[in-house]
Structure formats: structure tokens, C-alpha cells
């Protein structure tokens, strides 16, 4: 089992902040959707969050997984304005 720290950047203009909220697009919702598409359904931890329309250059996420390459595959399922750039 791997404990990965993912480094994420995003343009927040289309989103209502990082944390999931009902019926509005958020960064966390997009990341969860991408992880589900890969076949990962465990919880993701985040070390900070942003408000609506705020961008981030180095959002840290913590992920416990059996698959080290999940960090490489996730960008294939994320919108272009959200990227995992290191782990």
C-alpha cells in the first residue's frame, strides 16, 4: 500500500471552491470523479482548501492506494483546468 502526496494546481474560475458542495462544481468533486473513473473509491484527504473562483498552484492531497501509477493516470480524467503535476 502506498501513501501518496499529490501536488495539484488548478484554475478556480469555473468552480465554487475546493470542498464538495451540493449541486455546484467544485475541485474536490472533479477529483473524486476522476478517481472513480480509474476505479479508486477510497477517501481523499486535502491539506487546505480554496474559496469560489480561487486558483491554486500547490494544493496538497493525500491518497492511500495500492496503485502507485494512479497519480500518473488521474490527469486523463480531470478537466484541463485541474492538474496533478507531482507526487
Catalytic residues: 51
Phi–psi pair at 59, nearest 5 degrees: -75, 130
Which residues face 62 on adjacent strands? Answer: 5, 45
Torsion of CA 40, 63, 56, 50, to 10 degrees: 90
Amino acid at each position: 500500500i502506498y501513501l501518496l502526496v499529490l501536488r495539484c494546481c488548478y484554475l478556480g474560475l469555473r468552480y465554487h471552491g475546493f470542498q464538495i458542495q451540493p449541486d455546484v462544481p467544485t475541485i474536490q468533486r472533479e477529483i473524486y470523479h476522476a478517481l472513480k473513473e480509474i476505479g479508486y473509491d477510497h477517501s481523499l484527504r486535502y491539506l487546505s482548501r480554496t474559496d469560489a473562483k480561487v486558483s491554486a498552484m500547490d494544493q496538497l492531497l493525500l491518497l492511500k492506494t495500492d496503485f502507485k501509477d494512479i497519480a500518473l493516470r488521474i490527469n486523463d480524467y480531470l478537466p484541463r483546468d485541474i492538474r496533478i503535476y507531482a507526487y
